[in-house]
Structure 1
Amino acid sequence: MSSTTESRPRVVIVGAGIMGCSLADELTARGWRDITVLEQGPLPAPGGSTSHAPGLVFQTSPSKTLTAFARYTVEKFNSLAVDGVSCFDQVGGLELATTAERLADLHRRAGYATSWGVRGEIVSAARCKELWPLIDESVVLGGFHTPDDGLARAVLAARAQQARATEKGARFLDRHTVTGIERENGRVTAVVTDRGTFLADHVVSAAGFWGPVIGRMAGVDVPLQPLAHQYARTKRLPELAGARAEASKPILRHQDRDLYFREHHDRVGIGSYAHKPLPVDPFAILPYDEARANDMEMPSSFPFTDEDWAPSWEDCRELIPALRDTEIEEGFNGVFSFTPDGMPLLGESRQLRGFWLAEAVWVTHSAGVAKAVAEWMVDGRASIDLHECELTRFEEAQRSPSYVRERGSRQFVEVYDVLHPLQPMEQPRPLRVSPFYARQRELGARFLEGGGWERPHWYEANAPLVDALAPVPERDAWSARYWSPIAAAEAKATRERVALYDMTPLRRLEVTGPGALGFLQHMTSNNLRKKPGAVTYTLLLDEAGGVRSDLTVARLAVDRFQVGANSPADLDWLTRHAPDDVHVRDITSGTCCIGVWGPLARDLVQPLTRDDFSHEGFGYFRAKEAHVGHVPVTAMRLSYVGELGWELYTSADLGLRLWDTLWEAGREHGVVAAGRSAFNSLRLEKGYRAWGVDMTDEHNPYEAGVGFAVRMDKDGFVGQEALREISRSEPTRRLTPLLLDDPAAVVLGKEPVHVDGAPAGYVTSASYGYTLGRCVAYAWLPVLPAGAGVHIEYFGEKIRATVADEPLFDPKMTRIRR
């Protein structure tokens, strides 16, 4: 907390919907009292998304973080009541399958639930009929029942939390329209409204779909797109006559038709995502009084569009025959927020210190998000991993208004789609390409996407190499998507000859200045006080010892370092902490990188340079400036595939020349271009961790298996004191390598792992190890000895796996160090 009044920081929250009220409650519960919540509409229902929210809370998500948010929301709202009325009806949830693909997806969702600690089970069509008697059982194949899900009374939950926060000193002011954000020396100082100015050390934008409006006042980009979503209520149904409770049946999802259903006493409420996206300009949404004057119930409630509804109504009547004898009594198009990746926008802005976002948060996750943001503000870190939600996660190329609109609209379309974990976005592509893109296309690269980059996963030019392989096990339909046996051929070529990998999308930072060494020594866990030419694997930790990121740091000169990082959040973290004599900048887009790896890598590279690339002249984890052909390069002797080789960096304008030089020289050595699919297989065989997947700031270095990157004997570094305490006891969990017993079995990640018949953890990364002839999976588990047997649940099937010693491949590192 950086504030002139650190003991009693002044906080202004913009927006008194479910997010603003939840955050005020969580902050006051942690002892902060000077909290002002400003709302432009009337309380308790000010007219934003909260005021019309249908209140569905399904906890299960492929995201562990979103599931944790929802679990806390259920727990909290279950404990709240207003005037004797509960803020949550725990009626359960029921997701239906009417296609074989959806039923398989429900089995996968059941696996997520088990992994993240949510109760749920796959049920028969007959059981679905018992839970929801109005459905036509004949069109249903099965369902996924989650008994702890339910309906949040969003406005009531906001009122309950407002009351609790008010008791502790917070104040809520409605009819206050924000007109400006004041700032000084890069920090927020006040919020200006049409009814006065409010001094602030922290300002939190919890304005929902008005977030971009508030952000513009602060000079902060808010990549959020509001969209309208259809919701309707039927007339009274005789089948529901006499219902005493507002709802008694589970909330119902018919995702094969992009529909959901809930009871409203003797009526049924229906929401549809089946219609075309209806993007809304946040700067054109009317304030509360103007909306009412234009015959709108509230600013977030747009007129119902019957033409969009018609196809969905037929789908509703097919599933629920009772609807064939009734009509829609009322409907509206409710506005709510989407981001380019469908996740919330959380965190403090780099452009304006003290200005926070808590945006694109649905009722489902509201209390959990509020708890995390409050922890972040008060304690400096949240108790759960938030990297998927941090507002810094988007690249500059992903923040343009047209990109946000297009991707936000696509997120709406895909809300209920069956999405594969490797499935790339379709548009806008290509957005970012490396200098090698033309050559990759000539070689038949099959591109997936990440961070806006086109990333080759395999090359069709290598298809003839598959014939020389031992038979690659056939895959099931799900694991065969976005995969090819060509990846096995590329992995084999890397192990036996030499391959070129495009490593350009990996983030590169340059840290320079007189204080660069001292700064990096303080910020990271390993010892960087080495002579120029040294490369060091190290960690960014937070104050609690959690792994914020892992870095590869090359000292290229006394006061110049090149840092291999993971995400824009790393740049943000380092920039925030850099002293005046240190400059940190992102050099990724102006540079490129080729990984040259394999036992013949030296045979390829050495004839192209006058510099010594021998083992004696260029040791492992060393760097040097050199020339390869006509191209100046920064060469680093690193290998994330477990083979001899180098990462060769040059400027983007020379990248194509570098590729062509290596390609032509490599022909006599059988060089291939290889993709990320082979890369992932090879790195897992070596046990190399992927930050954000295998480890996050929820994990410490010792349990994550990267304790070797910590030097406790060096001068103070961030997280050191916490690690002193952590190191006094043995870990109770570890990132554990598993080998699947069946050579033909494959898992992909996030599956639950059972020990002695009970859920005990979950898979992080997994890939078939073509060298080992087994699928390799890493999982967070209680400490288990090598040889212990476990079961991984894959689409409901329990697959045997065995705990292995690591590294699984070349444990003496003889292949890399030659």
Structure 2
Amino acid sequence: MESSPRIVIIGAGIVGTNLADELVTRGWNNITVLDQGPLNMPGGSTSHAPGLVFQTNPSKSMALFAKYTVEKLLSLTEDGVSCFNQVGGLEVATTETRLADLKRKLGYAQSWGIEGRILSREECKELYPLLNEEDILGGLHIPSDGLASAARAVQLLIKRTEAAGVKYIGNTAVTGIEQENRRVTGVRTPDGVIDADIVVSCAGFWGAKVGELIGMKVPLLPLAHQYVKTTPVPAQKGKNELPNGARLPILRHQDQDLYYREHGDRYGIGSYAHKPMPVDLDELGSYNPDEISEHNMPSRLDFTLEDFLPAWEATKQLLPALHESEIEDGFNGIFSFTPDGGSLVGESKELDGFYVAEAVWVTHSAGIARAVAELLTEGKSSIDLGDCDIHRFEDVQLTDAYVSETSQQNFVEIYDVLHPLQPKLSPRNLRVSPFHARHKQLGGVFLEGGGWERPYWFEANADLLKDMPAEWQPPARDAWSGMFSSPIAAAEAWKTRTAVAMYDMTPLKRLEVSGPGAQKLLQELTTADMTKKPGAVTYTLLLDHAGGIRSDITVARLTEDTFQLGANGNIDTAYFDRAARHQTNNGGPADWVQVRDTTGGTCCIGLWGPLARDVVATVSNDDFTNDGLKYFRSKQVVIGGVPVTAMRLSYVGELGWELYTSADNGQRLWDTLFKAGQPHGIIAAGRAAFSSLRLEKGYRSWGTDMTTEHDPYEAGLGFAVKMAKDNFVGKTALEGRTEENSARRLRCLTINDGRSIVLGKEPVFYKNQPLGYITSAAYGYTIQKPIAYAYLPSTVNIGDAVEIEYFGRRIPATITQDPLYDPTMTRLRG
């Protein structure tokens, strides 16, 4: 057998051992797994994890990772006993808000292919006789949820992979990562160096310490979380044969931040109801493998009873049978939390061959291990990793203070009912554009994204509502879709379509790719032809080797060897950084290229609307006519004395330009345009109007309307692919594919009643079968109907009737040809 790369996995917990197993399954055979603890009880989070697996998650990727974990642990057996007890999961509601949230959660389950049902109070009691039915209003039952035997699974995986040749070394600390030419070469331990071509850190809450060894920031915070076992519960006597056995569903009482499982005739209770308890790893003391046992391990801290007592009272209220028991044993167990609650997966941008799979709970363990194994062996994961990509955070989100505050806040909010647009309350105002002071003066209502303050609408435009024609008046929204929303967005959309509006596009990630090798790099990484002359602006895709969409970007060629990219975020930055480094290091001077993130030092105004030329003509001597600046072209201009790069493109579907300047000139540019636009009815407009206008024009948003799981033809973006190019990443995979032969397509849906709003991720039913889910949605102010997009089988055609399930209610919709607005592009090109 041909030898595979030398792999060292740091951490023999549920993630590391699953990864070794997934690699062995794929034929890789040169694997060493290290752990600082004893292999029979490594002492990390896996060793004390209570094992409850609730699969449903707002993130499709995380739900599918959990689904695979269930399937794999069910199949992992010894002596006829599997490592998963599929008792089902029950989440109960004691408030109307929670019951509504459970209906929304059932929608997620249906969208991601997980069976479930909303139960009445009586059905909950029948399924779970110990419940106090007077307190509950209903519940969500997922029959395939259950209990993972994590520690047992680890031992069986070690046994199975050792038999396949994997080498395990326990009681061995990692003291360094060896490297040469920014590529990993080995792992240093007290016993010497273990040579490696690839190193994967699956070190759990120690992951940040391992990252420090190569200067990599791994943004996770170890936090303690309380778990107790009770004395025997008389009502449970004789119900479970095994001391750790369970037959009732795992139970969540999220209104009180609690979850439950049976341990034979005892109960296990987990609580998030206490204050966050951050853990300083430097204060955990020395790691003595000889002293580790079930009750003494680094991840298991002393129990603080006073923090648990309110949870104990709430427990006895929900489960009255527990009045006859007491707390027998408790501990504060360490888990990893991150700034946005997601896992941390991917290759370091600092060091080639160094990967992480951290902040992964038992729930998602086998799924993420499979994703990393696919990444290593095939170059990509079959499930999109965008939600857990290690590079998704901005630099300001990697500081210790930010990681600590936001991770603790995630702990507090873990069971809260959170709206998709719910902004952080703190920290705020981390990143503000040069227009921020003007936005505040105009009554901007800000939500937050990527650390940026983003105005969603402006209270200064409220007066426009009384002047707005009746056909532009939006319908009243239900309470959920009305949160973080305002009818003012309708007025802003109206003004954009009929007059002129200014949008702050500053938070859009901007990269400068420059040097003699810039064209070569972009030609290889993008689907479009980059050999156009300076002044060209091109919409293009970044694909992975399997043809999946990594990102969509705009590329403006400013000079012969300088390009400005409009990208989607830091994941793109890391991708270009690494590719540029490889090209520069492996080629001659003609290949040299550098990538620079210019976002913070620049700013951008989107000036759009049929009167945009009237505004700019009064403050610039440059030619903004159709002949002077054609669609998808750029040029250097001066507006009100400010040097500006003007690009003729628009994501709202109206005439106008993206106007870029340096941050120090930003406020002057804003003031110049805003003043010049007064006679033409100019307004500042926010992201809510932008999102609606974008969908009316059929423009896709990466991360929702397309991910690495979709190819350009499924996404309706085949026009952005130039197969005549010599070569580009993903070209080979696309050979023979067309929109016509795609098995599924991104379809536009319009909602029949003209008023029911959905927000995204809801399941779409065709002939009563859930066949897809909503990617993006908004009310279309111009077309006077709610719009949604969804991937559906190609057999579902234009004109077909479908239904969207929203909080348990089916909303009729129709598949409609897109774009809904200006399909002939006359508004944009005029």
Match of residue 683, structure 1, among 673, 694, 714: 694
Deviation at 1:325, TM superposition (A): 2.2
**Which residue of structure 1 lines up, in the alignment, with residue 5 of structure 2?**
9
Alpha-carbon contact 1:592-1:649 (below 8 Å) kept: yes
Cα-to-partner distance string for 1:265-309 (whole Å, 9 max, x where unaligned) = 000100000100001113333344289499961100001111111
Query: Partners of 1:728 and 1:754 in 2: how far apart?
Result: 22
TM-score (norm 1): 0.98
Alpha-carbon contact 1:768-1:776 (below 8 Å) kept: yes
**Which residue of structure 1 lines up, in the alignment, with residue 589 of structure 2?**
none
SS at match of 1:404: helix
Query: How does 1:151-166 map onto structure 2 within 5 Å?
Result: 151-166=147-162
**Which residue of structure 1 lines up, in the alignment, with residue 572 of structure 2?**
570
**Which residue of structure 1 lines up, in the alignment, with residue 801 of structure 2?**
789
Query: How does 1:404-415 map onto structure 2 within 5 Å?
Result: 404-415=403-414
Cα-to-partner distance string for 1:477-534 (whole Å, 9 max, x where unaligned) = 1000000000001000100110000000000111111121122111100112211111
Matched, 1:804 2:806: no
Query: Aligned pair in 2 of structure 1 residues 295, 111: CA closer, same or farther (>3 Å)?
Result: closer
SS at match of 1:209: helix
**Which residue of structure 2 lines up, in the alignment, with residue 28 of structure 1?**
24
**Which residue of structure 1 lines up, in the alignment, with residue 364 of structure 2?**
365
**Which residue of structure 2 lines up, in the alignment, with residue 465 of structure 1?**
464
Query: How does 1:597-612 map onto structure 2 within 5 Å?
Result: 597-612=608-623
Cα-to-partner distance string for 1:532-558 (whole Å, 9 max, x where unaligned) = 111110000111111110010111111
Deviation at 1:8, TM superposition (A): 2.1
**Aligned amino acid, residue 136 of structure 1:** N
Query: How does 1:423-462 map onto structure 2 within 5 Å?
Result: 423-462=422-461
Query: Aligned pair in 2 of structure 1 residues 637, 51: CA closer, same or farther (>3 Å)?
Result: same
Deviation at 1:83, TM superposition (A): 4.2
Unaligned 5+ runs, structure 1: none
Alpha-carbon contact 1:291-1:298 (below 8 Å) kept: no
Query: Partners of 1:73 and 1:726 in 2: how far apart?
Result: 32
Query: How does 1:686-701 map onto structure 2 within 5 Å?
Result: 686-701=697-712
**Which residue of structure 1 lines up, in the alignment, with residue 40 of structure 2?**
44
SS at match of 2:735: helix
Query: Partners of 2:2 and 2:337 in 1: how far apart?
Result: 34
**Which residue of structure 1 lines up, in the alignment, with residue 341 of structure 2?**
342
Alpha-carbon contact 2:33-2:168 (below 8 Å) kept: yes
Alpha-carbon contact 1:41-1:287 (below 8 Å) kept: no
Deviation at 1:215, TM superposition (A): 1.1
**Which residue of structure 2 lines up, in the alignment, with residue 739 of structure 1?**
750
**Aligned amino acid, residue 503 of structure 1:** M
Query: Partners of 2:155 and 2:291 in 1: how far apart?
Result: 22
**Aligned amino acid, residue 296 of structure 2:** E
Query: How does 1:46-445 map onto structure 2 within 5 Å?
Result: 46-242=42-238, 243-245=240-242, 246-289=245-288, 292=291, 297-445=296-444
Query: Aligned pair in 2 of structure 1 residues 158, 729: CA closer, same or farther (>3 Å)?
Result: farther
Query: Partners of 1:291 and 1:615 in 2: how far apart?
Result: 77
Query: How does 1:559-638 map onto structure 2 within 5 Å?
Result: 559-578=561-580, 579-580=583-584, 581-638=592-649
**Which residue of structure 1 lines up, in the alignment, with residue 588 of structure 2?**
none
Query: Partners of 2:665 and 2:396 in 1: how far apart?
Result: 22
Query: Partners of 1:293 and 1:614 in 2: how far apart?
Result: 75
Alpha-carbon contact 2:714-2:739 (below 8 Å) kept: no
Alpha-carbon contact 1:47-1:288 (below 8 Å) kept: no
Query: Partners of 1:386 and 1:6 in 2: how far apart?
Result: 29
**Which residue of structure 2 lines up, in the alignment, with residue 512 of structure 1?**
514
**Aligned amino acid, residue 462 of structure 1:** N
Count of aligned pairs = 814
Query: Partners of 1:461 and 1:749 in 2: how far apart?
Result: 29
Deviates more, 1:402-411 or 1:280-289: 280-289
Deviation at 1:389, TM superposition (A): 0.8
Query: Aligned pair in 2 of structure 1 residues 294, 64: CA closer, same or farther (>3 Å)?
Result: closer
Query: Aligned pair in 2 of structure 1 residues 735, 399: CA closer, same or farther (>3 Å)?
Result: same
Query: Aligned pair in 2 of structure 1 residues 310, 728: CA closer, same or farther (>3 Å)?
Result: closer
Query: How does 1:630-649 map onto structure 2 within 5 Å?
Result: 630-649=641-660
SS at match of 2:658: strand
**Aligned amino acid, residue 386 of structure 1:** L
**Aligned amino acid, residue 324 of structure 1:** H
Matched, 1:752 2:763: yes
Alpha-carbon contact 1:249-1:263 (below 8 Å) kept: yes
**Which residue of structure 1 lines up, in the alignment, with residue 481 of structure 2?**
479
Cα-to-partner distance string for 1:662-716 (whole Å, 9 max, x where unaligned) = 1111111111100000000000000000011100111010110010001111111
Deviates more, 1:215-224 or 1:110-119: 215-224
TM-score (norm 2): 0.97
Query: Partners of 1:617 and 1:738 in 2: how far apart?
Result: 38
Query: Partners of 1:661 and 1:598 in 2: how far apart?
Result: 17
Sequence identity, in percent? 60
Query: Partners of 1:231 and 1:262 in 2: how far apart?
Result: 11
Alpha-carbon contact 2:500-2:608 (below 8 Å) kept: yes
SS at match of 1:744: coil
Query: Partners of 2:89 and 2:370 in 1: how far apart?
Result: 24
Query: Partners of 2:292 and 2:258 in 1: how far apart?
Result: 32
Query: Partners of 1:754 and 1:248 in 2: how far apart?
Result: 33
SS at match of 1:816: helix
Cα-to-partner distance string for 1:225-274 (whole Å, 9 max, x where unaligned) = 01000000111011110121500000000000000000000001000001
Alpha-carbon contact 1:761-1:780 (below 8 Å) kept: yes
Q: Which runs of 4+ in 1 moved over 4 A?
A: 290-296
SS at match of 2:28: coil
Query: Partners of 1:732 and 1:363 in 2: how far apart?
Result: 34
Match of residue 497, structure 1, among 492, 496, 499: 499
Cα-to-partner distance string for 1:365-385 (whole Å, 9 max, x where unaligned) = 000000000000111111111
Query: Partners of 1:41 and 1:725 in 2: how far apart?
Result: 52
Query: Aligned pair in 2 of structure 1 residues 690, 379: CA closer, same or farther (>3 Å)?
Result: same
Query: Partners of 1:742 and 1:326 in 2: how far apart?
Result: 55
Alpha-carbon contact 1:291-1:297 (below 8 Å) kept: no
Deviates more, 1:225-234 or 1:724-733: 724-733
Alpha-carbon contact 1:296-1:303 (below 8 Å) kept: no
Query: Partners of 2:181 and 2:545 in 1: how far apart?
Result: 26
Cα-to-partner distance string for 1:344-389 (whole Å, 9 max, x where unaligned) = 1101101011111010000000000000000001111111110111
